[in-house]
Amino acid sequence: MRLLHTMLRVRDLDTSVRFYTDVLGMQLLRRKDFPDGRFTLAFLGYGDESANTVLELTHNWDTSTYNLGDAYGHIAIGVEDVYAACERIRRSGGKVVREPGPMKHGSTVLAFVEDPDGYKIELLSDS
């Protein structure tokens, strides 16, 4: 068994795809409209789906808002340098909501950014 993908519902698919590709450096792997169901799926990631876990963005055509809920936490992405990644994200128009630095009660360096729908993405050092 392996983890295939994580799905997030988004309000504006094009805006979200731009964020995950232009700001976080993912690739749009595939996108498909389902007119009978009135939704579109877009799969993004850092490598082919056959070997990597990816992110599925779901846009329901007739839904303009979602409640994020208090059970959802965040997505985590490994980066080489958390500080440099935050600077790149800021320059690309991304929103850093927790500046890089050691985690509370620990020494792991991390930061958090937020996507256009308010989902949190944790950046952690790969090393």
Return the pLDDT at 104: 86
Return the pLDDT at 68: 85
Give the DSSP per-residue string, 78-123.
EES-HHHHHHHHHHTT-EEEEEEEEPTTS--EEEEEE-TTS-EEEE
5-60: CATH topology: 2,3-Dihydroxybiphenyl 1,2-Dioxygenase; domain 1 (3.10.180)
Tell me which CATH homologous superfamily contains domain 75-125: 2,3-Dihydroxybiphenyl 1,2-Dioxygenase, domain 1 (3.10.180.10)
Stretch(es) of the chain classified as CATH 3.10.180.10 = 5-60, 75-125
pLDDT tens track of the chain, all 127 residues? 889 999 999 999 999 999 999 999 999 999 999 999 999 999 999 999 999 999 999 999 999 999 888 888 999 999 999 999 999 999 999 999 999 999 888 889 999 999 999 999 999 987 6
pTM of the model as a whole: 0.89
Half-sphere exposure of 106 (CA within 13 A, CB side): 4
Active-site option among 80, 87, 114, 122: 122
Told to judge if 122 belongs to the known catalytic residues of this protein, a careful annotator would answer yes
Residues 9, 118 contacting (CB under 8 angstroms): no
Return the pLDDT at 107: 86
